[in-house]
Amino acid sequence: MPGDRTAFHRTITADPLSVRAALADFSVSLTRLGIAPEHVETLELVVAEVLNNIVEHAYRDMPAGEIGIEVEARGGVILCDVTDCGAPMPGARLPQGAHPGRGTTSDDLPEGGYGWFLIRGLARDLTYARIGGRNVLRFRIDFPPSPAEF
Amino acid sequence: MRLTTTNHGGDLLVAVREDRIDAAVALQFKDALRTVSENAPARVVLDLSQVGFLDSSGLGALVTAMKALGPDRRLDLLAPTPPVQKVLRLTRMDSVFAIFPDEASAFARGAVARAG
- Could you list the beta-strand ranges (E) of B10-95: 11-16, 20-21, 43-47, 53-54, 74-78
pLDDT for B88 beyond 90: yes
- In B, which residues are within 8 Å of A16 by CB distance? 22-24
Say whether residue B56 is in contact with chain A using an 8 A CB cutoff. Answer: yes
Query: Does the distance separating the beta carbons of B22 and A41 come in below 8 Å?
Result: no
Percent pLDDT > 90 in chain B is 90
In a mutational test of the B interface, the residue from A55, A106, A117 whose CB has the highest number of chain B CBs within 10 Å is A106
Going by pLDDT thresholds of 50, 70 and 90, the confidence category of residue B63 is: very high
Q: What is the ipTM of this complex?
A: 0.93
Among B109, B65, B62, B68, which residue's Cα sits nearest to residue B87?
Answer: B62
The predicted model gives A115-133 an average pLDDT of 95
pLDDT in tens, A130-144: 999 999 999 999 876
Of B60, B71, B92, the CB nearest to A111: B60
- Identify the residue with better confidence: B111 or A85: A85
Mean model confidence pLDDT for chain B? 94
pTM for the model stands at 0.92
Lowest-confidence range among A70-74, B9-13, B72-76, B84-88? A70-74
A115, HSE (Cβ side, Cα atoms, 13 Å): 23
pLDDT value at position A148?
45
User: Which own/partner pairs from A99-107 qualify as long-range (CB within 8 Å, at least 24 positions apart)?
Assistant: A99/B91, A99/B92, A102/B96, A105/B71, A106/B66, A106/B67, A106/B71, A107/B67, A107/B71
The predicted model gives A27-37 an average pLDDT of 89
